[in-house]
Structures are given as C-alpha cells and as structure tokens.
Structure 1
Amino acid sequence: MTADTVRLGLSTAEVAERVADGRVNTAPERRTRNGWQILAGNLFTFFNALIGVLTVVALVFGGPKQALFGLVIVFNSAIGTIQELRAKAALDRLAIVGQAPSRVIRDGAETPVAPDALVVDDHVLLGPGEQIPVDGKVARPAGLEVDESLLTGESDPVAKAEGDEVLSGSFVASGAGAFVVGRIGADAYAARLLAEASRFSLADSKLMGGINRFLKIITVLIVPVAVLLIVSQARSGQSLRDNIVGTVAGIVPMIPEGLVLLTSIAFVVGVLRLARRRCLVQELPAIEGLARVDVLCLDKTGTLTEPGMSFGEIVDLDGTVDARPILAALVRADENPNPTMLAVADAVPVDPGWEAESQVPFSSARKWSGADFGGHGAYAFGAPDVLLAELPEPLARAQELGAGGNRVLALVGADELTCDDGPRPVGVRPLALVVLEQRLRPHVGRTLGYFNEQGVTLKIISGDNAVSVGAVARAAGVPHAERVVDARELPEDPEALAEALETYTVFGRVTPQQKRAFVTALHRRGHTVAMTGDGVNDVLALKEADLGVAMGSGSAAARGVAKVVLLDNDFGSLPRVVAEGRRVLGNIERVSDLFLTKTIYSIALALAVGLIGVPYPFAPIHVTLIGALTIGVPSFFLALAPNSERFRPGFVGRVLRFAVPAGVMVALATFGAYWLARDNESSALREDKATATITLFCVALAVLALTARPYTWWRGGLVIVMGGLFVLVLAVPFARDFFELSYGDPYNTLVGLGLAAAAVLVLVGVTWWNTRTAVKPPMKQ
C-alpha cells in the first residue's frame, strides 16, 4: 500500500469491493451450540437411550400405564433444551454488548467498526490495552509495545517497528500505532483466543467431575445387578410378561436420569440470573468457581475507586519552572492518554505548541512516560518513587502527600529519556508533584464487609504507591489494611512469596508479572483465587486466576481473558455473583443426595431380590409414582431455589456419607416389609407390592425431608405437599386402582410403617453424625 493509502485508509468503495470478494474478517463464532446441537445434546444421551429401550419393552409387555416413566425423556429433553437456548441467547446478546469495536481509518476519518467488519488492507489504529483482532503489519508505530504472552507465554512486551508483524490475540502493552490488516478469519494466527474465552461449556468443572465419577461407578454396578435381576425374575415362577415388567421396574430406578439434567439446568439458570444483572459469564464453570473462592485479589483503580480521577493541585519543587505548559505539552504528545493524563488535561492550559522529537510511552513496568521536545527540553512524568528514588527530600514530600490516599505523580526534567542503564531517565531534575484525587465507589464498604463475613480473604494489589494504596484500602474498610508492603521489596522465591502473601494485605508497586506470581503463590497454599481488574497490566493475573473478573469498561484484553465480565462496571455486583455460585453448588449437592440415594436403594433392592429369587416388589407404575413425588418434582424446585450456604470442600465424600447409609436403610426397610408381607399367606402378591410401595415412599419422603433442611416455609410445604399427594392417591379409588395399590392385611401395612419409622430414626442419627463430623470451611486469620 502507498503512504497516502496508509494515511487515508480505504475508501467506502474499496471496502465494498473487498466485502464482495469475501475478503472480510469472518469472526469465529462463540462456541455455543446451535439450536439443533442443543436439542441433540439433550435428547441423545446414554441414559435417555437406556430409558428409551426400557420404555419400549414396558410398553410392549405392560401397556401404556407401565411405560409412563418414559415421559422423563420428553420432560428432561424439553426443559434442558429450553433452558440452554435461553442461556445461549442471553450470553450472545451480552457478548455483542461487551465486544470492543476496532478503530479504523476509512475515507480519511477514524471510524469504529465491529471486528467481523474488518477487511483486508484496512488501517487499524491501536492504543494501550486494545486487543489485536487480526494479523497484519505495523504501519505507524509510536512507541508501540505488544504483549504476546497469551500466545507465546513470554511475559516481556515486544517493541514493534514499522513493517513488523502483529498477531491476533496479542494486545498493546504500551504506546500506540496502527497496522494494515493481512490475514483474516480462519487464516489469522490466534483468533481462537477470544473464542476460547467465550466458550460455553462445562469443561474443567470439579463438580461435574465428581458427578461423572458417580455415574461411572453406577454404570459399572448396573450391568451385573441387572443381569442378576433378569435371571432371578426368569426363575421366580411368574409369567413372561410379569418377569419382563418386574425386570424393567428394577432397572429403571437405578438410573439417575435427572441428575446431569438438573446440574446443567442449575448452571444455565445461574447464567441467566447473572445476565439479568449485566454479568457476562464466559464459561459455565465460572459459576462453580464463584462459590469456591476463598481469596479475592482486588485492583484499587476501577475496583475500590471510581475509574476516573479529578485534578487536585500542583506542588512546585523547583521554583523557577512553570509546570503547567510542560504538562500540557506532554498531554498533547500522548496519542492515547490514560485516565491519569486525562485528569491532568482538564486542569492545564492550552498546549504551548511544542513538537515532540521522541517519546517514551507509559507502561506498567516502567511506571512513567516522557517526551523530548528538542530545544524546550526532555521531561518524564510518572511514579515519584521511581523518578525521585535518588532524591530523598522530594520523595519524602511525595509520600507525605500520598499518605492521605491521593495519587501523586512526579514531573521531572531529564538529560536523556533512555532507561537502558536503569529504571529511570538520565539526569533527573525534580520540577513538580501533581496530586490527583481518587473517589471510592459507592457502597464499597458494604461489598467488602460481605466478603469478610463470608470468610473470603481480601488482598489489595496495585501498581500505585503502597502508602497511597494503603490509605485508600483503610478508607474503604478493608480488614488489616495496615499490613502494607512495597512489592519491590518482596522475595522472588515462590515459598517465601507465598508466606508474604499470607502476612500482608495491601501491595503497592506491583508489576504485571508479580500479579501473576501472586496468584501462583496463593495456589501453592491451596487457595482458590479470584482476581479483579480492568487494565492491560491485569491480563496475566486474570488468566492465571481460578476466576478472572473484568470490568466492562476495561481493556479489550482484560475482558477477553476474564471468565466473568461486569458490564455495568459495578464492583457492588460481586456479592450477588458469589451468592449465585453458592446457590448453584449448594442446590446441586441437595439433588445429588436424592438421586444417589435412589440409585443405591434400587441397586440394593435388586441385589436382594436377585439373590433370594422372589418377584420384584414393584411395577414400573410404582417406580414412576415414588420417583416423581420424592425426587423428580422436589429436586426441580430444590435445584433452582435460593440458597446462601457457604461453600464447603468435599462434595463427593459428603454426598456418599449421606446417600450410602440412606440408600441402604431405605432398601432394608422396604425389602423387610415386602419379605414379611410375602410370608403372610393372607395377602396376594399385588397387595405385598403395595406394602413395599408404602414403606418405600415413607422412608424416601424422610430422605427428602432431611435433604430439604434448613427449612423455610416453602421447603416444609414442599415435603408436606408431596406426602399429601401420596395420601390422596391412596384415598381416591380411581387413583389407587390406576397405580395398582391394593389394600391387603392391615398387619402388613403396620409392619411396613414400623420398619419405615425405625429406618427414619437411623437416618436422623446418621445425618446428625455427618453434620457433627463435617469439614468446616477454613476460618479467616
């Protein structure tokens, strides 16, 4: 392209020509499943296939009534599909809102366009924190440094000269510039970064991992138990029809068909609830991560404080130089001013008209920027403890001003802006200190108080002066905010760094690489870490953290790697976000208790029947009734209900400690009642099955009652309504006949109720013991 083309960009006609030729960036779609994939994913599952086969068998040999359990396929698939479609629509809408447009030059003017509207040869402008959407070659660098760590793993920014290649997925660390679009769409080197960050999946979920372990064990157990049941029913002396129907009735309740469904629904409903609060969840496991977090690392600027700053005052250090025109010249020379420079720009006079011969852009590593104006001199502007490190008196004055929580910056003259031999320019002369006022976000104290009450340890991490950051933290009400340290004094050894992180609360002058090292060190101590941030210097830590939370107004790079984006920029939304995660995990544990208990008592009953060689005590219609009233309907309400319980580690162990004894006691009481009823010669097999059904329901209802604790009005009401519906079935002749519940000898019913009561007492004792010996959440220090 010619120099004029680079300056003016493409014309409207040239853009149209490229679009017509297909040379337009086809942005990778968010990896959400389309409608047909969602339907297929919810319909064609292993358990649906198994239940479908059993439904056909029951329909052929038992009639429509005995095959009613097959409706679970319809309900599960419909509910799962509808919920996932709603979640997909909500996420896609939020993703569009949160998508950063690219700035291009077209027809000689700067124009914002969507990344998927970029065409080959477009002239794309770049500023600090902006993510590079496609591949291309640098055309006009102005101190441009690109961070390619998300692609290469190398954390040091790479300086880019004219003609150098830039790759999609990297982002601008400092400086500014422009590039000419080359490879687009699927040909781009790393366009998959944002697509991967936006992926809608259940991958890497510890909760789903635990449930999948349950399902593998259950699948292994079902096969031999089902074979034993089939053989025993064939030898039980019943008709072929009764043998097949009994076998189906024994196999169906072993299958936890609703567990995976309700787990997925709980996740996607969590996504929908957060979407209504303008929270974009880019990965479903983030919902789970919200509940597990025990250390929250907060960036000061934009999180504790409002994003912008207001100008305070200029404190003269020289007495012979007017700092205002110098500051005005520095502001004009900065093509992409950050919030600090914008605050200064509001207070300085009109630019004096100096032309910069060279520039050093601001970066988080340097912590200063500067420009050389030739005959007017060279100047640097940035952190006092960097620029004034060798000048005790001005530095002490800066620290005094910053002790109240204001942000203080130093303006210095310099012989040379080069910093090759050290962290600061050569020949520094102090000129002035600029004081900027920072405003705390509304309700920040209440938000921090919530996390403290919930046992979440807070760490304030900032690139600003440690004393200033500590003052802001104390004003915000951060616990132990007096434990302040300058990160430059911290050890590099991972173990020693982890110890320091346990000791201190507020960290100043933290580099981007240190932020990532902090997360790694906390992981070494077994912590689950959440990191908030909005700037380019937060990207590495956001990617490393278990849960990265970015502000919607933050840099494109920060939003791209974060798992949760607060599109309304409201830090006060975080308690609701954490509460949603805890609701999901707590409720999934409840329904897991129910489903695993059912599976265990079903397997135990099938084993007892198979080994002793008696007819199976239930027909499929009995299984449908009990499953609906004690698990199916209640679990749906429990999975989506409010739940503010704190997260406790050990999900798998806790579920097994409840479900195994509960399932065994249900099976013992039920089979005992059935065995004694069979031994009573005055009752028929149909009446014996009714006795077993009543006994099973009573103990299973007790399991539901124990699972529903702590009680609220609706949870208590849910248990009562389910019990009342079963009593109604027994009381209404039509319903009793439909569900094949024939009254027999009252003695059988009384024995069944007695055994059920004994089993319930044992379950209450087991639950009390489990509660007493449960692992408590770690206490805060």
Structure 2
Amino acid sequence: MEKEATAEEMAVEVTDSPSFAGLSSDEAARRLQVYGRNIFSKVEEISFFRIAIKEIREPLMLLLLGVGVLYSLWGDLEDAATIVVVIVLLLAVEIGNEFRAKKAIHSLARLASPVTRVIRDGTVQTIETETVVPGDLLVLTPGTLVTADGKVIRSYGLQADESALTGESMPRDKSDGDQIFAGTMIIGGEGKAEALATGKETRMGRISSSAKTIEQPKTPLQKSMKSLAKKLVVVAVFFSVTIPLLGFLRGEEPRQMILTALSLVFATVPEELPLIITIVLGVGAFTLSRKNLLVKKIKAAEVLGNATVILTDKTGTITYNRMRVANIYPAEGTKAVLEAAMGAQTETSTSPTDRAIREKCQQEGVQPPEGPVIRQRGLASGKKSRAVLREIDGRLELFVSGAPEEILGSASGTPGPEVLEAIAKETGEGRRVIAIARRTVPAADRPLPFPELERDLALAGLISIEDPPRKEAGEAIARARRAGVQTIMVTGDHPLTARQIAGAVGIPAEKVLTGEDLDAMSDAQLMEAIKTVSVFARTTPEHKYRLVRALHQNGEVVAVTGDGVNDALALKGADIGIAMGVRGTDAAKEAADIIVADDNYRTIGDGIFEGRKFFDNLSKGVKYYLSVKSALILIFLIPVVFNAPFPFSPINIIILELTLDLMATSTFVVEPAEKTIYTRPPRDPKKTLVDRPMMKRIAFSGISLFLAVMVPYSLALASGVELQTARSIAFFAWLAGQVSLAYVARSDHEPLLSLGVFSNRMLNLMLLLIAGITVAVIGLPGLAESIKLAPVPPVPLAGVIAFAFCMIFWQELVKMWKFKSWQSGK
C-alpha cells in the first residue's frame, strides 16, 4: 500500500514557487492537471434512477402499487393492462417532477460555488476554489474561509477559528511559518499563506471523504404537508372502504365493490401533496437564482415572501460600492495624507475603500512607505479604526486610519473648528470620511499593545470617499413599503452620512440612532424605538444582532443582509440571512440562507415578491388538489346514500387520477404573479397553509365540481339511457369541470380577465390534452369500450361541457365583483 502524502512532504514539491509573485497561470494550470481539483469530497450527482427507487419505496407509492397489483389480479385482462399503463405513467410523472425539482435545487450549489483570492502572475486574483493548487499564495483577510492546508508566509496579526476541525472555540494566533488548514476561518488580521495540500489530501478532505452524504433537511412546510398527507390517507382509506362496503350491503356485486375500493384508494390517497411542495419550492428557488438570489437553504424560499422587515447594509446594497476619493483635507497636504493612508495598509488590504485610496495614490504619483510591517491591528473588538506599525529607515512609525471621532479622540490636542467643519460638510453630502493619523514610536515602546501605542497621534488629514446611492434602490424601497415591508438601514458610517444616503433613497431619516444610543437603551426601550426609527449609524455587528432580536420580539419576520465575519450572528439569528455575493466574506456566506449575487437592494425586493408568488402558487396547487379529491369522495358517497349506481367504473377513476396528478403538479408551478402581491401586506407566518379560508374555498370548489358531474349524470339516468352512456356523460363532465376548476383556481382574488385567460402556458397544454382525450374517446373505434365508456353525441356532449363550465365559473363572477371593489378602494 502506498504511503499517503502529508502536507509537509508535498511542500518539498511546491515551495519552489516565487514567494510574492505567486504561480504563473500556466504553472497553475499544469499543477491542476497533476493534483486534481480542490474538492474535499465528491458531490453526489442527482440520479434519475436513485430518485425512482426512493419514490417507489415511499409508503404511499407502495400502497398504490399494491392496489395496482390487486386490481390486476381481480380485474379483466384489458383493465389490468390499462392500469399497468396508468401506474407506469403516474410513476413517470412523479419521478420526473421530483427529478426536475431536485435538479433545480442541486444546480444552485454550482451557481453559488465558492471563490478564493490568490496571488498569481504577481497580482491578486479571484478564482474558483476548485482550481486552487499546491503552491498558490492564498490572500487571507477577516472572514476568509481557508481553502487548502498550507503554511503562513506573512502574518499581520492573523487569527484562525479552527473549531471546525478541533472543536475548540478559542481562536488561534498564526505567525509566519505556522500551519493553516482547509475548512477553518480567518477571524482577525491579514496575511498570506502558501497552499501545500488541496482536495482530499487536506485534513478536512480526509474527514469529508469518510463522512456519509447528508440529505438536505425538510422545511417546516414540507414536514407539515407530509403530516397532513398522512392524516388525509386515513380519511381516504376510510371512505374507500366504507363506500364499497355500503354498496355491498345494498346488494352490489362483491367483486365489483372490491375493484371500486381499490380504485378509490388509488384516486383519493393524496400521494402528490408532499411532491407539490417540493416542486414549487425547488423550482421557485431555481427561479430566484435567475434573479441573482442564490438559495443555499431551501427553507429560505419558503419564508422569503413572508418578510415584514429588511435590515440592510448601506455600502454596496443601497449604494453602488463604486468607491472613489472625492476630497482630501487639507488640500495642500494631499500627498502627505495619501502617504499616511498607504502606510495604514498592507499588501493584503483589498477592501473597496483601500482600492479607492490606492487608485488616488497612483493618480497623484504617491508611493507607499518603504518599510516592513511589524504588527497590525484590524477592525476588531468594536474598534472603527485600524493600525499598522512599520519600520522605516530604522525608526518605528505607527499609521492609524478610521472613524474621525475615534482618531481625533486619540490625537494630541483639540481638533480645530476647520477640521470639524470639513467633517460635517463631507458627511452632509453623504460621503464616508476617513481620518488618517501617524506617530513616531520610540524603540522601547515596540512591544507595547496597540491601545498604549495609539496615543498622542498627529492628525495627517481626512479622506472623503464617495459612493452614490443606487437609483433603483429608491424605487425598490418604495415598492416594498407599498407591500407592507419596512426597510431599516444599519451602517457603520457617520450619522450625517447615513441620514443623507437614507433620505436619498426614501428611507425615513428624520431620526438617526447611533451605536452609543443603542448601548444606553434597555431592550424594552429599543423595542419601542425601532417601531419609529429606520436609520442606525456607527453600529457594530453586535448592535445589528440586537436589532434583530428587538424586531423578533415585536413579531416581525426579519430579513438581514450582511457581509462581514462578525455579521454571522445576525445572519443566523434572522428569519432569512442574506449575504452579499460580491463583497461578502466567506464567513457571511457560510452563515446565510441566501446569497445576493449582485449586492443590490432591488434584487432582495424582487426576491420577496418572487417568494410571495410561489407561495401563492403552492397554496393554489394544494387547494386545487384537495378540492378535486373531496369532489371525488362526494361523487361516490352520495350514490350510496341514495341507492344509485356509481358514476365512474373503477377503470374510469384510475384514468381520471392520471389527469389530476398531471394538472396538480405541473400547472400551478409556472403560474404568473398576481398584481396584488405588490400591494397586499405580508402573510402572517403563524397561519397554516390549509387554514379556515382555504377550507371554505376547498368546500365550495369541491361541491361545485361534484354538482357539475352529478347533475348531468342523474338527469341521464332519469331519462332512461344506459348506465355506460350515463357514466360517459359523467366522465366528460368531470374532465370539463376539472380543467375549468384549474383555471378558476389560478387566483382567489384576481379574475381571469385581469390575469390573462391564457397566460399560463402549461395549463393551456393541459386543456389541449383533455380536449385530445375527449376527441380520442369519441372518435377512435373501440377506445371508449376498452375503458368502459360509450360515445356521446356531439350536441349532448356540448351541453354537458357547458353546464360543467357554468357550475365552476360562478366563482369568477364573485371574484370580478370583489376585484372591482378592491380597485376602486385603492
């Protein structure tokens, strides 16, 4: 057996790469061929065959298969052949829909594939994590997920959370030469590391390859629907046994009653109910991905439409995140200010603000200070500034940049009025103001902690960063407000900057609270304040989490955006955690339920309305499905009570079940959004899907479909026609009523004329299918007889279809009247 290569052994092969320029693109491509893709464990592909086996093993499907076998043994040869065909078709529909839904969900993982920053060809590049190879130089910043085992070659106060591997909650300091491991998280400092082992050769890879594949857990809605389905199975089996038993006691043929019982079990057991949920959520999640919302956890697709509050960042979400230096104070000291600002950066400082300052330095011809970084303090422990200690020409220089109030508080002397005026002027225009300070540190003070070094600072100046608000953000915020969704902006910027940007996009900014204000408030006071305040400035991630808790205590459904390592707490605590895909850290993306690929607030708003749409569609599909099932039970129960023959033969029931499953699982998934989703308030998440109003609609629709079938059937029997002809009339009435109900069920509030009668293409295809079945039964010799039907003359058939249409479409008249009242009251 070959000895497994360790990271140390692999280092011999890869440390010949340049220490600071990184690998060349050609060399990286060659090593990718040698070492393979950086994948910890192979993701199991969605298999049609595996889904088929899983579906066949489902208890409800096993019950139906058992019914089919028994029916084949008891029924005629022709009936047996027909039911085998129908069972195969039903299984194909079930498995095909499940495959489509799971394929859609599975594809989201590829769309949200992680990326890694490395140094290649001498520049920092963002590449797919799968393409990281041994020898790559990894750029490490707070919130970065380490993607390979390696060795730190430059540390500026690096700290790593290794709890994923060791279980230890305390972070570990990482110095030059220390090992880092794939799957761990950088939570502090900056640095670079050389990748030594990737993929299955990493420590995490060895653990992952031995672990079993874990299926995505069911959402609460999926669980509740499965529970409801089990209860409805009891009801279905009860009626499926009771109705034939009563028929037997009435004197019907035992064999025919057994076949009827089996057929009723086949038709009334709600095996499609859990599948409707899976399809709508899966396809809905995939639809969101096309709108730049990548759903990581399928429960988010379920909850998204219920959001009542969006707790959003400012930078990059409400603004463009196109940072540029707008002004420097004092103007005559521009080069000195920029030199000090560059001193406060390291080669791994890659934030948008850092890049904007570097671009300005290039324009002005300013070079960064030449001197190694001795130590660095990042934005941590509630600090709104960072500090870098350098050795320049034999002396120690401390450079500090960050929030003006924090820098000025550590500066020597009192800031002059002109400095305060400059800050007020720039923040009043919505710009971010960064103060830059420096200090020469005595050699004896070198080992002192940063809080002791950061005193008596000399203010170098101020840099104003401009990031204009997005035009579409204002439109999206207004649209969300009309739909009952409040937007709250939480930012670390100056209160005046926050007020100006919030006002520009339509967020009420008459009152702005700061982090200090929040610290002074009790939880009860904060719960009251957040009812009227929509802008919070100079906040920390801890403040954001506290705001989430206060909103929850007020009964709100909260969506939170975040991008930093410390935002993980708020993202996890929210009902829907939304990470920024462009500027978001790996830590934020790991904690989130959804990733916004373009960091745009409008995308979040669109997602909420999309979530409302497919929750509506889920409700419509379930309501339609249960309405038809209840109508079928009534159609068999009432004849027993009145001692009349059943309207459908057993084989008729099985064929009708096929058309129902096709329509219930295919048509409502693609139903377009209703106009009311943009103006109605969010749905109360405490309400169950099948609530009292839905039960009323199910009852009305079920009774309507029952009458659409039983009235022409009863009239046909009363007129003396043969039973098989009367059953044919009932069969065609059912088809017409079923498809009519599907059109009516497209909305509970908006009439078809407003929706567009033929705007659902899948439903139109189902209409053509039903019409084709009708024409085939009438026109093809022998087909009607083979399924226990008789041809019906065109004129009576047209009358039956018209009557079924009228019995269902009365609901449209009610909707038109209510919709006009709603429009006039807007």
TM-score greater than 0.5 by the shorter chain: yes
Which secondary structure state, in structure 1, belongs to the residue aligned with residue 368 of structure 2? coil
**What residue in structure 2 maps to residue 706 of structure 1?**
744
**What residue in structure 2 maps to residue 564 of structure 1?**
594
TM-aligned CA distance change 1:366 to 1:32, over 3 Å: farther
Partners of 2:8 and 2:223 in 1: CA distance? 57
Task: Summarize the alignment of residues 174-573 of structure 1 with structure 2, pairs less than 5 Å apart.
Answer: 174-178=188-192, 185=200, 188=203, 201=216, 203-206=218-221, 208-316=222-330, 322-331=336-345, 333=346, 335-348=348-361, 349-363=366-380, 365-373=382-390, 375=395, 377-389=397-409, 391=414, 393=417, 394-395=419-420, 397-414=422-439, 425-441=454-470, 443-475=472-504, 477-491=505-519, 493-554=522-583, 555-573=585-603
Contact 1:298 1:533 in 2 (8 A): yes
**What residue in structure 2 maps to residue 55 of structure 1?**
68
Contact 2:514 2:537 in 1 (8 A): yes
TM-aligned CA distance change 1:566 to 1:43, over 3 Å: farther
Contact 1:147 1:172 in 2 (8 A): yes
Which secondary structure state, in structure 2, belongs to the residue aligned with residue 172 of structure 1? strand
How far did 1:629 drift? 5.6
Provide Cα deviations, 1:344-396, integer angstroms capped at 9, x if missing partner.
Answer: 22223113424444332334831111123463642311011222248564445
Provide Cα deviations, 1:294-331, integer angstroms capped at 9, x if missing partner.
Answer: 21122111212223311122213998994333223333
How far did 1:240 drift? 4.8
Contact 1:367 1:382 in 2 (8 A): yes
**What residue in structure 2 maps to residue 10 of structure 1?**
15
**What residue in structure 2 maps to residue 619 of structure 1?**
649
Q: TM-score, normalised by structure 1?
A: 0.81
Provide Cα deviations, 1:229-284, integer angstroms capped at 9, x if missing partner.
Answer: 34334445444542333223322221234333343333333344344445432223
- Give the AA of the match of 1:589: S
User: What 5-or-longer segments of structure 1 have no aligned partner?
Assistant: none
Which secondary structure state, in structure 1, belongs to the residue aligned with residue 530 of structure 2? helix
Which residue of 632, 657, 673 maps to 1:602?
A: 632
Contact 2:61 2:271 in 1 (8 A): yes
**What residue in structure 1 maps to residue 94 of structure 2?**
77
How far did 1:406 drift? 0.7
Provide Cα deviations, 1:669-688, integer angstroms capped at 9, x if missing partner.
Answer: 7567767876x494544345
Partners of 1:724 and 1:118 in 2: CA distance? 57
2:122 pairs with 1:100:
no
Which secondary structure state, in structure 2, belongs to the residue aligned with residue 27 of structure 1? coil
Range moving further from structure 2, 436-445 or 602-611: 602-611
Range moving further from structure 2, 559-568 or 662-671: 662-671
Provide Cα deviations, 1:4-62, integer angstroms capped at 9, x if missing partner.
Answer: 99899634899999999999965134576445433434444333323323333344414
How far did 1:754 drift? 12
Which secondary structure state, in structure 2, belongs to the residue aligned with residue 426 of structure 1? coil
How far did 1:462 drift? 1.3
Contact 2:14 2:134 in 1 (8 A): no
Contact 2:400 2:438 in 1 (8 A): yes
Counting aligned pairs with the same residue, the percent is 22
2:702 pairs with 1:663:
yes
- Give the AA of the match of 2:683: R
TM-aligned CA distance change 1:182 to 1:732, over 3 Å: closer
Task: Summarize the alignment of residues 30-49 of structure 1 with structure 2, pairs less than 5 Å apart.
Answer: 30=43, 33-49=46-62
Provide Cα deviations, 1:474-512, integer angstroms capped at 9, x if missing partner.
Answer: 22x233133322122114644433333222111111212
How far did 1:401 drift? 1.9
How far did 1:471 drift? 1.1
TM-aligned CA distance change 1:403 to 1:54, over 3 Å: same
Partners of 1:560 and 1:623 in 2: CA distance? 49
- Give the AA of the match of 1:482: E
Provide Cα deviations, 1:83-103, integer angstroms capped at 9, x if missing partner.
Answer: 2464266335424xx321364
TM-aligned CA distance change 1:482 to 1:49, over 3 Å: same
Which secondary structure state, in structure 2, belongs to the residue aligned with residue 379 of structure 1? strand
Partners of 1:245 and 1:529 in 2: CA distance? 53
Partners of 1:666 and 1:15 in 2: CA distance? 66
TM-aligned CA distance change 1:705 to 1:269, over 3 Å: closer
**What residue in structure 1 maps to residue 3 of structure 2?**
none
TM-aligned CA distance change 1:52 to 1:6, over 3 Å: closer
Range moving further from structure 2, 714-723 or 680-689: 714-723
Partners of 2:789 and 2:640 in 1: CA distance? 23
- Give the AA of the match of 2:398: A
Partners of 2:724 and 2:10 in 1: CA distance? 89
Contact 2:305 2:612 in 1 (8 A): yes
Partners of 2:788 and 2:10 in 1: CA distance? 84
TM-aligned CA distance change 1:632 to 1:359, over 3 Å: closer
Q: TM-score, normalised by structure 2?
A: 0.77
Contact 1:617 1:674 in 2 (8 A): yes
Range moving further from structure 2, 541-550 or 20-29: 20-29
TM-aligned CA distance change 1:321 to 1:136, over 3 Å: closer
Partners of 2:163 and 2:320 in 1: CA distance? 29
- Give the AA of the match of 1:94: L
How far did 1:458 drift? 0.8
Contact 1:384 1:395 in 2 (8 A): no
Task: Summarize the alignment of residues 676-695 of structure 1 with structure 2, pairs less than 5 Å apart.
Answer: 680=718, 682-690=720-728, 692-693=730-731
Which secondary structure state, in structure 1, belongs to the residue aligned with residue 618 of structure 2? helix
Which secondary structure state, in structure 2, belongs to the residue aligned with residue 435 of structure 1? strand
TM-aligned CA distance change 1:360 to 1:47, over 3 Å: same
- Give the AA of the match of 1:268: G
Partners of 1:5 and 1:212 in 2: CA distance? 51
TM-aligned CA distance change 1:773 to 1:70, over 3 Å: farther
- Give the AA of the match of 1:489: D
Range moving further from structure 2, 271-280 or 253-262: 271-280
Which secondary structure state, in structure 1, belongs to the residue aligned with residue 348 of structure 2? coil
Contact 1:144 1:159 in 2 (8 A): yes
TM-aligned CA distance change 1:305 to 1:754, over 3 Å: closer
Partners of 2:542 and 2:164 in 1: CA distance? 13
**What residue in structure 1 maps to residue 20 of structure 2?**
none
Contact 2:46 2:106 in 1 (8 A): no
Aligned length: 766
Contact 1:131 1:170 in 2 (8 A): yes
Range moving further from structure 2, 665-674 or 251-260: 665-674
Partners of 1:352 and 1:139 in 2: CA distance? 21
How far did 1:596 drift? 0.8
How far did 1:668 drift? 6.7
How far did 1:587 drift? 1.3
Contact 2:279 2:665 in 1 (8 A): no
Contact 1:226 1:251 in 2 (8 A): yes
Partners of 2:531 and 2:806 in 1: CA distance? 50
Provide Cα deviations, 1:641-667, integer angstroms capped at 9, x if missing partner.
Answer: 222452534322043232134335544
